[in-house]
Structure 1
């Protein structure tokens, strides 16, 4: 049963219907969010019904926007493992470290959650062609989900897109164009083509439904912790959609009475030193991020020079008593190696920024050794193997005996 009631702009408060295609209406950072009949949800749905659901993000159907299950487009996304990283925690000096391994999603990244939701909703709304800009992982995910649904996806990507993402797009049969020039202008290029061709803009926070997919990361965290919150969530922040979604889930579950604790976790937002508009805004006490004009980071995610979720991310960080900080590419690569060596999880460098940040938080006292800490691992290392130093393995013959 569907409980979606309307869409609401978080900036101006305008209410919009959900049964026609909608894009964001405010240029000042307002987000168009889905709203649900929470009174009916409290009366008709409880946690045991959720627990009995399918092991995927679709178990949270009552608080998701797809009205007819026949429109669901799925590749098996969600319900990713929450791993108690005991060995890595001991090495870092904390006892309750957990990693949420989003690399287990079908295309290798958390982007599948947003892709599944927005493609399902576009199918439901009768949208045939959509366009967006992506540094890589979202393009791969949206292309493959569009292929699954029979929709036409147009991708605008940077010229240093990861080969794995480029291959995902190519094999899906969807269109992609590498944009020359500063990446922060890619949004303008998308908007111009929306105006010219009438395509639907599915870019980050340009519509309300990718957010609802990312929200399910927060839903899962609460359920996997026995319907409770962690103390600290460390998130690698590009456009900001994932962090906003997680905390939207926390707020909704709290209002529905599905969470044991009312102590909302602190958010730590992490960015690369070479593209840190949100961190800079936080340090300067601003409520918005200025464009980052000289992006110098490893190929892959966290390339958002003008993050559309900047205002909301900064609000959440400050409301929860969190912080923002940067790490280098080398620190991220080292943290990825630590995670693989101690826990057997192969993470992409942008994901491992969360663990590089944790080292700094523990050293500064901003994270405590006994706190329940979640480091979000948003993608698999196999998607960005070219960012790692080439492995040098010893060669032996068939007659050689190995040392003990």
Structure 2
């Protein structure tokens, strides 16, 4: 049986099934293994994790263990409670109207971030004019209908993670900042900071940045320096806002002080740093990478709840979930009819009733005609039973999003 235990209960002879530290970026540590000595316990203790998962069928049990199924059920209930507090409704453009503009903005954003990183690598100063222009376009699209850009954030390639992560983080911060009522100027600055938050990685050696395997402890220390490099580069960039610098510099800080580069704790971290940390973790753990299979959006939200308090600001985590919805765009869901659908548009009035695109029937185990259904419309009888993993049905949700 898989159980979660507090770190203090971990003993030699136990088998770790999950270090429960996906919130730490990069594959710097082995996730599984038998604990053979005290030295291994000491190493795990230095990771900053508060709880780990053990497999009692492969090692010792613990009286302090809680079954993983119970943890998941508790997170599901917490997610439902958060979803009962919908964001403020607002008038928006139709998804079909906004999608073309969103596609153009998304493509422009990837090209721009790539050009900025290449120019800085060549020793050139950052030209902020096109960055500001792009941030304004992103902001406009989010206000018209944030589902369009959110939808595109699920259509990505693992080999292009660095650029797509920067773009998607700016989209998530746009949605997040809008939901908490940031002014236009603050929202603009945080979007710029999110777009450029990983600029410091141009100073990370390629053999570390693009290593397909596990990073050594020494390599991870080198990787961690990118946050400080981002701060240095942006702080000396003429015309950049203070909040943009803060957003980029603090995206790896954690509430319990286990983050970097400064190891800030609690409210020592700016609200923008606490917000971007949540969005950064969510995007990272729900993205496929060379060495990491992404979680489903709903699994990602549950993990944010599990890590809130220790690592992430709990109040802001709840707000982040409310603005993305109980079933974020890109989630695959099972309907009462037995059909599978991908969420393509949220519903601010009732998060249980988003717009879904159905394509498969689980009872007949076969594809069906693709159809877009607004579950909130009068006369629609189908309802969502639960979120599911598309890999269980060998389906690629990206094909049905745009």
Q: What is the TM-score of this pair, normalised by structure 2?
A: 0.28
Higher relative contact order (CA 8 A, sep 6+): 1
* Greater helix fraction, Structure 1 or Structure 2: 2
In the superposition, the TM-score normalised over structure 1's length comes to 0.28
